[in-house]
Amino acid sequence: MFQLPPRPEYFSAEHEAFRATVRRFVDAEIAPHASAWDEAGTFPRELYRRAAAVGIIGIGYPEALGGTPADLFFSIAAAEEIARAGCGGVQASLGSHGIALPPIVAHGSPELQRRVVPPVLAGDKIAALAITEPGGGSDVAALRTTALRDGDHYVVSGEKTFITNAPYADYFLVYAKDESGSVQAFVVERGSEGLGTSKPFAKMGMKSSPTGAVYLQDVRVPADHLLGGGIRDRDTKQDE
């Protein structure tokens, strides 16, 4: 009779101890409220700080930026425990930094990293990734948002949609095309003149994850908020 090979032991005692911590947090702070939050279409911002305090937000990020260096299986354990509460919306929004911060950590200047990353990992600020557009979805080769150099700034104009945490995020990682047609990524801060966001969209599910639009009209973004490099549009396609 065919037998499956033994299951590899990916989770050590340290992983399981962290899992237990996350489970206690979920049982106390999320599970009792998940249905009500979904009906309300949001959840308390304070939950970011509470999640950060038990190590959920900063797991896997550099210690110098306020994170806790760890392997992928710590993140998997946390994701499994949050999913147990049946709160996909809360999980999506608590984790929006997971698609917004890694490019900043990898390609942002040290000054930009120190400005943006620590407050997000502490739960004091929210970061969102802004790629998807009304006309081209998340295909970066079809981006219509533009970023034109003007002295020590870029002037960014365009519209993003279906952006997780758009109504409440403090930092947006915005993808746009420069004069050469290269795709570039910029950190744009809430409060920048010309930046606007919509109210949360009405959705069929995952309502506690606020999803909305981001509007950029001649937003002047400091040139040092540009992430290093640049992606040629002829070869690229990235999903949010």
For 37-65, give the DSSP string: HHHHT---THHHHHHHHTTSTTBTS-GGG
Assessment of whether the complete model's pTM goes beyond 0.85: yes
Does residue 109 form part of some domain? Answer: yes
Domain that holds residue 17: 13-121
Q: Hey, is 131 helix, strand or coil?
A: coil
CATH code (residue 204): 2.40.110.10
One domain, residues 137 and 100: no
Evaluate whether 123 touches 49 at the Cβ level (below 8 Å).
Answer: yes
Distance CA 172, CA 66 (A): 19
Domain boundary among 121, 141, 170: 121
Domain boundary among 74, 103, 121: 121
Mean pLDDT of 227-232: 62
Domain boundary among 121, 141, 165: 121
One domain, residues 197 and 107: no
CATH code (residue 50): 1.10.540.10
How many folded domains does the chain comprise?
Answer: 2
pLDDT of residue 3: 67
Distance CA 45, CA 122 (A): 12
One domain, residues 104 and 161: no
Q: How confident is the model at residue 7 (pLDDT cuts 50, 70, 90)?
A: low
Does residue 60 form part of some domain? Answer: yes
C-alpha dist (Å) from residue 23 to 77, 89, 102, 205, 209: 9, 17, 25, 24, 21
pLDDT cut 70: percent of the chain above it: 92
